[in-house]
Amino acid sequence: MEEHSIYMHRCFQLALHGSFTARPNPMVGAVIVHNGKIIGEGWHRQPGEPHAEVMAVRSVKDESLLTKSTLYVNLEPCSHYGRTPPCSLLILEKKIPKVVVSNLDPNPIVAGSGIRMLQSHGVEVITGVEEQKGWEVNRHFFTFHTKKRPYIHLKWAESADGLVAPVKKESTHPFVISSPQSLRLTHQLRASLQAILIGSATALSDDPSLTTRLVAGPDPQKFVIDRYRKLPDNLRIFTSSDPALRIVDENFALSGDIAVKMDSDWLWLNDLLKILYTKNIQSLQVEGGTKVLNSFIRQGLWDEAWLIKSPNPLTAGVSGPSKDSLWNYYRSNFTSGRDTVFIFKK
């Protein structure tokens, strides 16, 4: 089993090369081993391109070795025709006798059928190797398919005394609590998630761009809660090349908006998440403000939360979201410049 773990961790390393490009497909890496030596490896780059298993097979210089080799892959080989042929069929064609898998694919069009196809043709299949790590690598994909909603990542920064903004700002630019290192970290998080959500108060007070300009990575798709559709059109989130979509009460929504029947208790967030699911949004970063974050926290609508804590006080200002329930899910913390980043995860 230790040998399996070593090769599976290599699969994870390869899979992560697709962090920004594979979605909405899962991140997958594959390794082919013959007599204790890696003879081929590959990873899935983007939708429509060959899967990891195909890339690994193509990289093998002597294909005659495949009939005496083991294929390691972090996600169950597919068994259906999509934009590319099924990987299970390729494994059978190349007569690879053994396959080691970390996770089964929760996507209903696969859901164990790849494993069954291989086993029915005499291929030895081992599953569950480093399963928890495999889930972590593709947690957005797994959450999307099992919970029928995006993976929800909460993130905010607050002062030493628990405030997120001063009482009155001197400009419409975002008030910066975090260190430069933490700002860069925030942009890295945005790049790793498919979409980002803010409330109307944050949009008005900060006029943010919600980009990943400090790092190399794609900008997330932007959403803003604008219940009564009062936000001005000249805000930066609306004038960018990829403007934000407004989430509006159905009584005020216009064509192109996301219309939701809103209530005062914010229970409509569940309906919003269902809509985002139909739009194939697999991961969502919620960046505030306090009212929006509290609404997600109160209803338990989150999977991971990052609190960036500055050592500097503000003395007076807007309080951050309630953290009492989050501490039950505290995982770890690390230093980012002068700040401490606390991680909570269900």
Band of pLDDT at residue 315, cut at 50, 70 and 90:
confident
Percent of the chain with pLDDT over 90: 86
Would you kindly state where each structural domain of the chain is located, as residue ranges? 2-142, 149-345
53 assigned to active site: yes
Residue 23 has which token pair? 């979605």
Over 90: is that where the pLDDT of 178 sits?
Answer: yes
- 303 contact partners, CB below 8 Å, separation of at least 6: 139, 143, 151, 152, 153, 345, 346
Percent of the chain with pLDDT over 70: 97
Give the pLDDT confidence score for residue 82 in this predicted structure: 67
Over 80: is that where the pLDDT of 304 sits?
Answer: yes
Give the pLDDT confidence score for residue 172 in this predicted structure: 61
Mean pLDDT calculated for residue range 81-89: 79
Annotated binding-site ranges = 51, 78, 87, 157, 171, 190, 202, 206, 210, 213, 287, 289-295
Domain spanning 149-345: CATH 3.40.430.10: yes
DSSP-derived 3-state class of residue 261: coil
Mean pLDDT of the chain: 94
Over 90: is that where the pLDDT of 124 sits?
Answer: yes
Residue 50 has which token pair? 């060959």
Give the pLDDT confidence score for residue 173 in this predicted structure: 66
Strands 245-249, 318-319: pairing is: unpaired
Superfamily for the 2-142 domain: Cytidine Deaminase, domain 2 (3.40.140.10)
Over 80: is that where the pLDDT of 175 sits?
Answer: no
Over 70: is that where the pLDDT of 170 sits?
Answer: no
> Which residue among 41, 53, 158, 304 is the active-site one?
53
